[in-house]
Amino acid sequence: MSNDKPPLDPHPLSEYVAWAGNRNREPLLGVLKEKLPKDNGQILELASGSGMHINYFAPHFEHLHFHPTDKDKDVFDNIKKLSIEHGNDNIADPTHLDLTDPDTWFNAADREANTFAVIFCINIFQVAPISIADGMMECASKLLTNDGFLLIYGPFQIGGTFSTESNQDFHNTLSSAGVSEWGLKDITDLQAAAEKHGLELNEKIDMPANNFSLVFTRK
């Protein structure tokens, strides 16, 4: 596999997103091996994109059932193709879930049928508006089991500052692209959104290449 970084392109099926995913999937698997339930459970991925992560993780947790979702239905064929290629029969067919549209959040009223022990979301905030944090936290608070958690992975600012120069550089590159919603968002804003929906930041794990895994649980 080449380590050459392709040009920035947030499309979920782009070479750039695949390159980023190939770098972060192994460290993320390490975190999930520590934290995912050892018994049965339902695991939901938000913004699955190509499906490369869920298809990489699922074979390591045969006792769990995985549910890929995205707002963009065009990625579903790729997710299904990967599940077939990898023989992953613990991955459900992808479902349309748009964090800005509560009508797509499974049937949150039916808690018995629709609760998830873990919800995870990888690399969405640098190319999405911070306003989706509100939907993400509300969705998680509706769908998580009482002792479940939401794991958000990506690069972030912390209280208005960048933890490293490379994160500042990445933010500058994103900001100069002329798309108002691109750029590194602030963990403080995620915490404020979580508070509104009865969740709190429980753990902030430093990940390679100046990323974080943020673990939110019920208060």
Ligand X SMILES: C[S@@+](CC[C@H](N)C(=O)[O-])C[C@H]1O[C@@H](n2cnc3c(N)ncnc32)[C@H](O)[C@@H]1O
Q: What residues line the site for ligand X (CB under 6 A)?
A: 10, 12, 17, 21, 46-50, 52-53, 70-72, 75, 97-100, 122-124, 127-128, 132
Nearest residue (CB) to ligand X, 3 versus 161? 3
Nearest residue (CB) to ligand X, 126 versus 157? 126
Give the shortest CB-198-to-ligand X separation in angstroms. Answer: 21
Nearest residue (CB) to ligand X, 12 versus 155? 12
Give the shortest CB-69-to-ligand X separation in angstroms. Answer: 7
Nearest residue (CB) to ligand X, 64 versus 174? 174
Length of the chain in terms of residues written: 219
Nearest residue (CB) to ligand X, 28 versus 199? 28
Neighbours of 195 (CB within 10 A): 13
Nearest residue (CB) to ligand X, 208 versus 219? 208
Give the shortest CB-49-to-ligand X separation in angstroms. Answer: 3
Neighbours of 9 (CB within 10 A): 13
Give the shortest CB-101-to-ligand X separation in angstroms. Answer: 8
Calculate the dihedral angle through the C-alpha atoms of 94, 96, 98, 101, rounding to the nearest 10 degrees.
-150
8 A C-beta contact, residue 175 and residue 161: no
Give the shortest CB-39-to-ligand X separation in angstroms. Answer: 26
Give the shortest CB-48-to-ligand X separation in angstroms. Answer: 6
